[in-house]
Amino acid sequence: MSPYKIIVTGPVGAGKTSAIQAATDSHCLVTDMPVTDITALRKGTTTVAMDFGVVDLGPTQRIHLFGTPGQERFEFMWDILANGAHGLVILLDNTRSNPYRDLKHYTVEFARFMSLANLAIGVTHCDGERGPTLSTYERWLDDLGLSARLHATDARSKDDVLRLITAALPRGGEVAMDTAEDPVPVPDEPVAIAGTGEPPDEPPDEPPDEPPDDALHLAPDKLEQILTIQGVDGVSLTNSMGELLHSTISNEPLNEFIAYLSAVVPTVESALDLGRIQRVTLKSPAAGNLIVFVEKEQSLGVLSQPRAPVTHLGQQVEDLLQWT
């Protein structure tokens, strides 16, 4: 049997990474990076590409879990991850200022990519007095014309997460579990957000470490020299968080893809034991070629014409960069 593909999505801090780690006993790939914006008040890291894990339910059923990035600047990844998905799990943080808006946003956005027939919703951080009740969420689902399995969920609980996953499987795909039908009570202690150990409604005691200086390490004249290489059509520079620092490429999806490669390469290195990946080359006889030079703090994308000799061009760029 082909494995089922389940998407786990939701806002920053809802517990997506924790849920996939719980379901897979931490045998998963995580692409967390330090947060550089106001999100640091809720958690110290954020997913920049995807989280991935595999769950075996019984001897014949395997589920591939894909956790989406929560920050809006990484939303371009959603349609990539949702392609071919069988079900959707939305985690909603009950302590956020407007959970209804979050519910509507994620159901509307993912309705573009996949059917919401197999939808399960987990409401996290329900252990305090703050936030709506499950009855309120049920009324919101009715208002939106949606039918979904709804549970109060501790994202650290394997039983809670597996309940959501099986609820999101296609009809007939659910597996009997040795757990109660009603949601497992959420523990009294505050639920820690993945990567911080801090309760969701309290900022860290100390500000996060300053990120590396992401000012242009390449002097403007270096970028200009790269642009003068025969066959080069544009350059795009991003930092390790996938944030665009400088670009002469007008194709915005291409800039986003370069940023995605910058974020995901370290995970590929670790997962596949390939050693350090310094260059990613994509060749297209019709649309042109793309070379992405990957470094720890920054990555440079170079767009070249279809007939440009990629190997020679790449060496010319490396000579100018003098990256080691």
Give me the pLDDT at residue 157, please.
95
Domain containing 246 — which CATH number?
Answer: 3.30.450.30
Q: Has residue 202 been placed in a domain?
A: no
- Closest to 198 in 3D by CA, of 13, 10, 12: 13
Helix/strand/coil for 97: coil
Tokens describing residue 251: 């194709």
Rg (CA), the chain: 22
Query: Using CA atoms, how far apart are residues 250 and 40, in angstroms rounded to an integer?
Result: 31
Q: Facing residues of 56 across strands?
A: 62
Task: For residues 38-46, give the mean pLDDT.
Answer: 42
Is 185 inside a domain boundary?
no
Same domain for 56 and 137? yes
| Shared domain check, 227 and 159 | no
Same domain assignment for residues 116 and 242: no
Co-location of 154 and 289 in the same domain:
no
Residue 47 belongs to what H/E stretch? strand 45-47
Q: Residue 59, exposed/middle/buried by CB under 10 A (0-12, 13-18, 19+)?
A: exposed
Residue 173 belongs to a domain:
no
Per-residue tokens: 235 = 């350059």
CB 66 within 8 A of CB 85: yes
CB atoms within 10 A of CB 135: 9
Let me know if residue 129 belongs to a domain. Answer: yes
User: Any idea what DSSP says for residue 212?
Assistant: P
Residue 46 near residue 32, CB atoms below 8 Å: yes
pLDDT, tens digit (0-9, with 9 covering 90-100), for 138-177: 999 999 999 999 999 999 999 999 999 999 998 655 443 4
pLDDT digits (tens, 9 = 90+) for 199-231: 444 444 544 444 444 344 666 677 888 898 989
Domain's final residue, options 131, 149, 167:
167
Instruction: Output b/e per residue, 6-34; b: 16+ Cβ within 10 A.
Output: bbbbbbbbbbbbbbbbbbbeeebbbbbbb
Q: Is the pLDDT at 14 greater than 60, yes or no?
A: yes
pLDDT average, residue stretch 263-277? 70
Structural domains in the chain (count): 2
Binned at pLDDT 50, 70 and 90, residue 311 comes out as confident
In a domain, 187, yes or no: no
User: Residue 87 is part of a domain; what is its CATH number?
Assistant: 3.40.50.300
Residues 234 and 158 in one domain: no
On whether residue 179 sits in a domain, the answer given is no
**Residue 69 and residue 17: Cα distance in Å, rounded?**
9
Structural domain of 19: 4-167
Strand partners, 301: 236, 292
The residue from 167, 193, 209 where one domain ends is 167
Q: Which one, of 243, 170, 249, 217, lies nearest residue 320 by Cα?
A: 217
pLDDT digits (tens, 9 = 90+) for 101-119: 999 999 998 988 888 889 9
Least-confidence region, from 44-53, 134-143, 249-258 = 44-53
Sequence-separated (6 or more) residues with CB below 8 Å from residue 241:
33, 34, 36, 48, 211, 263
SS3 247: strand
CB atoms within 10 A of CB 210: 8
Mean pLDDT, all residues of the chain: 75
Among 124, 148, 167, residue at a domain's last position:
167
User: What's the gap between Cα 93 and its chain centre?
Assistant: 17
Whether residue 175 lies inside any domain: the answer is no
Nearest-angstrom CA–CA distance, 185 and 163: 13
CB 159 within 8 A of CB 184: yes
Closest CA to 129 of 169, 90, 95, 167: 95
Confirm if 291 and 313 have CB atoms less than 8 A apart.
Answer: yes
pTM over 0.75: no
Q: Is residue 161 domain-shared with residue 96, that is, in the same domain?
A: yes
**Same domain, yes or no, for 158 and 234?**
no
Residues in the chain: 324
User: Do residue 151 and residue 229 come from a single domain?
Assistant: no
Whether residues 139 and 269 share a domain: the answer is: no
Residue 134 shares a structural domain with residue 236:
no
The CB density around residue 266, as the number of other CB atoms within 10 Å, is: 18
Does pLDDT of 269 surpass 80? no
> Quick check: is 100 in a domain?
yes
Mean pLDDT of all residues in 27-35? 57
Based on the domain organization, do 40 and 147 belong to the same domain? yes
Same-domain pairing of 128 and 37: yes
